[in-house]
Chains A and B, each alone.
Chain A
Amino acid sequence: MANETTVAEAAPAKAHGNGHENGHGHHPTGWRRWLFSTNHKDIGTMYIVLSLVAALVGGAMSFLIRLELAEPGIQYNLFWLDNEAAYLQFYNVLVTGHGFIMVFFVVMPAMIGGFGNWFVPLLIGAPDMAFPRMNNISFWLLAASLVLLLIAAFTQGGPGTGWTVYPPLSNAEFHPGAAVDLGILSLHLAGASSVLGAVNFITTIFNMRAPGLVIHRMPLFVWAILVTAFLLLLAIPVLAGALTMLLTDRNFGTAFFDAARGGDPVLWQQLFWFFGHPEVYIIIIPAFGIISQVISTFSKKPIFGYLGMAYAMVFIGFVGFIVWAHHLYTSGLDVDTRAYFVSATLIIAVPTGIKIFSWLATMWGGSIDFRTPMLFACGFIFLFVMGGVTGVALANAGMDIAFHDTYFVVAHFHYVMAIAAVFAMFAGFYYWIGKMSGRQYPRVLARVHFWMFFIGVNVVFFPQHFLGMAGMPRRIPDYPDAYAGWNYVSSVGSYLTTASTLLFFYIIWRTLRSGEKVAANQWGEGATTLEWTVDSPAPFHTHEDLPDMREKQPAE
């Protein structure tokens, strides 16, 4: 008994001793600082860098797709491939790779891994994440996953299955070779990374809030990351199970998805979309969080209807798990099943509507500074509403007969989820880059970037509504000549978008190299959250003395 007491007392003292040493100038430098990092800010920075690198790859893929589609015919001499079949497979790999990279290696790392790691501890007054070493593993698993995916793309023709990887096309019979297997392993690693990250965020947010920062006073970005972490925790294992079944189908003679041997290809679609639909909310809910912080700051008002905003996200997360089969309206589901999924899917419009109107009400009566982050937030609202109303149309299984698998769907999800998320990422970047780097971004160039990007993406995606209504299918490298006009317009938009992305990389370089220094709170009276109370750039260790939130007014 006595012995145990001694050990228990000694352990915390020792731990404290180590923490003390590391905290004052003894942290690793050089490559050790990054490879072995357990610091939430360094890991956040690495996630953002990974996202930027992946964005170049995924963006280049979309640019190649738009070049191919700029005019009718196969442009395979664009890619210096002599064999037309090889090129057509390569085109499908581009479509697949663009989806995977943008979802798993651009948006998720930037918003959850990047901004989440950087700002959740800062916003809740915690010194770091709950499990700093697990945090390190989360990042490096994702880096390995990206490498595997890129290897897969150049292995034996690459995976030309679309990001949905539907069997039988993804079976060994139709995709022999290691490409799809490598892709599956890549997703397994990305999934493990996400689940570890999710566990880390949930533990941190539940247990490490500053005294007085009760759940119902947490900033909405923290709420968003909390909801997202739960979605990841529940959705990723289903994907992992489905991927494992596909892997054993391909390599070990099982027949989960092989109809000829008693399996069912549609089972894969059910499992994939049971993960896949929450996945799109995993992408957009952190965006909601960022937009809420930005709008509140620049309107110089607390968020309108705070509790409604928080629980709208919880509700969206919950409903996200019971609407997956609206991706399967043309798979031959029973009509009553489809009727249920129509009704459930339409419901999503209510909490998302609450969010839109609460943002507008937050701005109403405000004294709004239209700085670059706020411009991106307004752009986000526009895109999200545009994509939202087409989503209401697509929710109807009867209507979906006309829209399913056409460019209308491509336009819809890029508006509501993909480009909207990217707008939130840009808003977050311009909002927090001062805190992360201590430097001011070039103001005029940032505005130019916003307008180029905003116009560019609308020119890309708005005409795709027309193409879809006229009946142009997705995922095709060539189209009947009637679709040439709007496809050309869409491609011109992608040139502008690509140019604006290059400008963004120049802006990053300018900011880091010659941006002026910024104060701890660069945004003034509207910026009331805890990250603005620490220096800019945020020191290596922050909140070593927990901030006391008991005296402050409730956030609601």
Chain B
Amino acid sequence: MLRILKLIVLVPVLAALSLMLGTGDVFAAGRAEPWQMWFQPAATPVMERILEFHNLLLIIEVSIVVFVLAIMCYIIFRFNAKSNPVPSKTTHNTLLEVIWTGVPLFILIIIAIPSLKLLYYADKVQDAEMTLKVTGNQWYWNYSYPDHGGFAFDSIIVPNAELKKGQPRLLTVDNPVVLPARTNIRLLLTSADVIHNWAVPAFGVKLDTVGGRINETWVNINKEGDYYGMCSELCGVNHAFMPIHVKAVSKADFAIWVKKAKKDFADVEVPAAAKLAQADAPAVAR
């Protein structure tokens, strides 16, 4: 009972206080900020196009809602029983009915054209420079690098008690996945058990990892930095606790990291599911 009272009364007070004093926590790009009401900034060309397309959608959405609300307000004001005691008997107007069928159809075509363009653009990349393989597990991710000797490692959440200062709760992992910036990277996704979903909001990437299937998508990260995501398909009790942390570095730094990682992760076995993916993956320039 006390707990409930605390949730209802104490939390807003604390929330207001922390807002006034400022949280003091520096929030990096690549993840949400407190009270965020919008998308995270785009870090890939796909996400840039998604945001652009959403701007169009938002204008249409808001116009429709405002239009309908305006009509409703006018009706409430003008056609209530006091203002208009005698109801009209109009029940048909062919022109009006044709308009409100035709205009929405026209608006939908305006939406559909950029929508399909975006869809095909986001689907696959033709000239991938490297491949990253992602295997979902209950409840961690395994990453492997088939174009760099095929080493692999697990990426597991850091428990709250072991977080260092500045590391975000529920987003920090022991081994972030490192990728080069400004590089076309093919992502191949699969799962070792149930369905998971590898999603990084700033990249405009969200794709299921399904056992027995290899799903493909791609990223080209335009800026070095840390980017975070979370599993986006219900996968059991620890669904909320298998975050994704992508560290984007320059190509030179990436080459250095690969050398080190090859040694560090030399004795980590590539999961069977990812080996399958490797066999199926088209050859890419190494």
Q: List 26 A-B contacts (CB under 8 A).
A: A75-B3, A88-B238, A168-B193, A168-B194, A169-B194, A259-B213, A260-B212, A304-B90, A350-B105, A354-B97, A354-B100, A367-B84, A370-B80, A382-B72, A392-B57, A392-B108, A399-B53, A401-B206, A470-B32, A470-B36, A470-B40, A478-B241, A480-B228, A481-B168, A482-B27, A488-B11
- What separation, in Å, do the CA atoms of A70 and B228 have in the docked complex? 23
Pairwise interchain contact B115-A466, C-beta atoms closer than 8 A: no
Q: Which residue of B lies closest to A86 (CB)?
A: B237
- What separation, in Å, do the CA atoms of A477 and B49 have in the docked complex? 32
Say whether A485 faces chain B, with CB atoms less than 8 Å apart. yes
Q: Given A360-B72, A405-B233 in contact, is the A392-B61 Cβ separation under 8 Å?
A: yes
Query: Which chain B residues border A366 with CB–CB below 8 Å?
Result: 75, 79, 84, 87-88
CB distance from B175 to the nearest CB of A (A): 19
Pairwise interchain contact A370-B71, C-beta atoms closer than 8 A: no
- What separation, in Å, do the CA atoms of A79 and B140 have in the docked complex? 27
Query: Which chain B residues border A357 with CB–CB below 8 Å?
Result: 96, 100
CB distance from A185 to the nearest CB of B (A): 22
Say whether A363 faces chain B, with CB atoms less than 8 Å apart. yes
- What separation, in Å, do the CA atoms of A184 and B128 have in the docked complex? 45
Q: Given A365-B90, A370-B76, A405-B199 in contact, is the A398-B100 Cβ separation under 8 Å?
A: no
Pairwise interchain contact A266-B91, C-beta atoms closer than 8 A: no
CB distance from A470 to the nearest CB of B (A): 4
Q: Given A300-B87, A308-B97 in contact, is the A399-B50 Cβ separation under 8 Å?
A: yes
Pairwise interchain contact A368-B122, C-beta atoms closer than 8 A: no
- What separation, in Å, do the CA atoms of A350 and B118 have in the docked complex? 23
Query: Which chain A residues border B122 with CB–CB below 8 Å?
Result: 398, 401
Hey, which bits of chain B sit against chain A, CB under 8 A? 3-4, 7-8, 11-12, 15, 27, 31-40, 46-47, 49-50, 53-54, 57, 60-61, 64-65, 68-69, 71-72, 75-76, 79-81, 84-93, 96-97, 100-101, 104-105, 108, 111-112, 115-116, 118-124, 138, 168-171, 193-195, 197, 199, 201, 204-208, 210-213, 215-216, 228-241
Q: Which residue of B lies closest to A378 (CB)?
A: B72
The residue from A75, A89, A360, A481 contacting B7, defined by CB atoms under 8 A apart? A75
Say whether A549 faces chain B, with CB atoms less than 8 Å apart. no
Pairwise interchain contact B8-A495, C-beta atoms closer than 8 A: yes
Query: Which chain B residues border A300 with CB–CB below 8 Å?
Result: 87
CB distance from B50 to the nearest CB of A (A): 5
Hey, which bits of chain A sit against chain B, CB under 8 A? 67, 70-72, 75, 77-78, 85, 88-89, 92, 95, 160-162, 166, 168-169, 174, 259-260, 264-266, 299-306, 308, 330-332, 335, 338-339, 342-343, 346-347, 349-350, 353-354, 356-357, 360-361, 363-370, 378, 381-382, 385-386, 388-390, 392-393, 396-399, 401-402, 404-406, 466, 469-486, 488, 491-492, 495, 526, 556
Query: Which chain A residues border B120 with CB–CB below 8 Å?
Result: 335, 339
CB distance from B148 to the nearest CB of A (A): 25
CB distance from B159 to the nearest CB of A (A): 12
Q: Given A360-B72, A366-B79, A481-B168 in contact, is the A89-B237 Cβ separation under 8 Å?
A: yes
CB distance from A350 to the nearest CB of B (A): 5
Query: Which chain B residues border A305 with CB–CB below 8 Å?
Result: 91-92, 97
Query: Which chain A residues border B87 with CB–CB below 8 Å?
Result: 299-301, 365-367, 526
Query: Which chain A residues border B50 with CB–CB below 8 Å?
Result: 398-399, 401-402
Q: Given A70-B7, A471-B32 in contact, is the A330-B197 Cβ separation under 8 Å?
A: yes
Pairwise interchain contact B35-A486, C-beta atoms closer than 8 A: yes
